[in-house]
Amino acid sequence: MREQLMADLRAMWRIRAFEEKTQALCGSGDVRGSVHLCIGQEAGPVGAAEAFTDGDALFATYRGHGWAIARGVPLEPLFGELLGRASGVNGGRGGSAYLSAPEYGFLGENSIVGAGTPMAVGAALAGRHDGSSRLAAVVFGEGAMNQGAVHEAMNFAAMMALPVLFICENNRWSELTLTRDMVRNPSLTDRPKALGIPAIRIDGNDPATVRETILDFAEAAREDGGPAFVELTTQRLVGHYVGDAQQYRTREELAEDRRQEPIARAAAALAEAGVAAAEIDAVRAAAWAEVEQAAAAALAASPADVSTVREHVYA
């Protein structure tokens, strides 16, 4: 358990350091445009990563840097993309909110709320016809539960018994509005259940719980080919986008979120298990060293190539 938690802490710190560095690069003007960070939500991607294998398809949202990293996309081309460099995963075409790396089974972020869900259903459908036992997973926020496409996708997957994991990251906020004020029934899992999809709400700040649950569901989905729905309770420790002053949140709420966030919790659990503070701190330092190196290399790379700007619109 201790080894696993150390590994999880390492993986979470890689994401956290990447996001904090990104925030700094926004501040310095190197990253331009709107950026959505997953600071506080790292346990989801880290816990879920083990369930995916080559050939699986993962769809995420604009808040998807952590999922790309967890899927194995190297940090340098991710920074390159955010920085608008030719070396970016999409050569600067995608940007922070719409990047993809299909070589890693990362089929892409999406800046249209809910839009990834039907696409994931299609990825699973393709798997039924191409002989693979492809698992498709789609990550979305709890606010997206009120989007029509999400309901259509869930029912479609259920009707066809397709292996799709619907992963709902519940950080409570739809941008600047509390999602619980936008529903009458606060139980989001009631909706997939009503469609015949097994659904569960779990502690999304604990990578071990996430791992266990997603592995179970993934295995079941691959075996009998039905979709599943996992709600991860979590929180974002930062604004909806970089620059969001968060006037809509109270100090108490943020303080409570900082107590619940996965890195602080993992560090506390390790300390309790007798791991020396220096060892825990070394994890953070190592992640930062890797991130700084990747960012420096990306910054040194040449800007996106303007001569290619009109390529790839058509076959």
Binding positions for ligand TPP, rule: CB under 6 A: 61, 63, 111-113, 140-144, 171, 173-175, 179, 240
**CA pair distance 26, 28, nearest whole angstrom:** 5
SS3 95: coil
Residue 292: its H or E element: helix 277-300
Per partner kind, with CB cut-offs from 5 to 8 A, the member of other proteins, ligand TPP, none near residue 182 is: other proteins
Q: Residue 53 or 177: which CB sits closer to other proteins?
A: 177
> What tokens appear for 185 in the block?
């029934």
- Name the closest residue to ligand TPP (Cβ): 141
Tokens found for residue 184: 């009458």
Residues forming contacts to other proteins in the complex (CB under 8 A) are 31-34, 62, 84-85, 88, 92-98, 110-115, 143-144, 146-149, 174-177, 181-183, 248, 303-304, 306, 309-310, 313
Closest contact distance (angstroms) between CB of 176 and ligand TPP is 9
Shortest Å, Cβ 156 to ligand TPP: 18
Comparison of 149 and 208: residue with beta carbon closer to other proteins = 149
Name the one residue in this structure whose structure tokens are 């990047």.
99
CA separation for the pair 99, 154 (Å, rounded): 24
DSSP string, 212-263: HHHHHHHHHHHHH---EEEEEE---SS-SSTT---TTS-HHHHHHHHHH-HH
Rounded to a whole number of angstroms, the minimum distance from the CB of residue 87 to ligand TPP is: 27
**For residue 178, what is the enclosing H or E element?**
strand 177-178
Give whichever of 55 and 243 is closer to other proteins, judged by the CB atom: 243
Minimal distance in Å, beta carbon 213 to ligand TPP? Answer: 20
Comparing CB distances to ligand TPP, the nearer of 111 and 246 is 111
Residues 6+ apart with CB under 8 A from 65: 15, 18, 19, 22, 37, 38, 78, 96
97, interface contact from ligand TPP, other proteins, none, CB < 5-8 Å by kind? other proteins
Closest CB to other proteins among residues 97, 137: 97
